[in-house]
Amino acid sequence: MDTLVGLLPIILMFVIFYFLLIRPQQKKQKQVQQMQSDLQKGDRIITIGGMHGTIHAIDEGTLVISVQDGTQMKFDRSSVREKLN
């Protein structure tokens, strides 16, 4: 019984840690993966490196992005940070 009472604060800290840090991070990661899988040709995006562009072509795991001067670059789909409205 004393062992259980001694472990209770550690268990409580783990539960709090899970609900404050781990669960929200997993939820955010799921939203990012959904956004990346929903990308379509013509969407305006920002990459993780800060490159702004428009999707010119989409392949299974890669995107061809056109930037302002017409240059086209190939990126991994996972390098997209944000989709602009």
Domains and CATH numbers, the chain: 1-84 (2.30.30.30)
Share of the chain above pLDDT 70, in %: 100
Which tokens in the block code for residue 58? 């989409």
Alpha helices by DSSP H, the chain:
2-17, 23-37
Model confidence over 48-66: pLDDT tens digits? 999 999 999 999 899 999 9
pLDDT tens column, 28-41: 999 999 999 999 99
Q: Edge-to-edge strands of the sheet including 80-84?
A: 72-76, 62-66, 52-58, 44-47, 80-84
Predicted TM-score (pTM) of the model is 0.74
Residue 68 clears pLDDT 80, i.e. is over it = yes
Q: Specify whether the CB–CB gap between 53 and 43 falls below 8 A.
A: no
pLDDT band at 6 (very low <50, low <70, confident <90, very high): confident
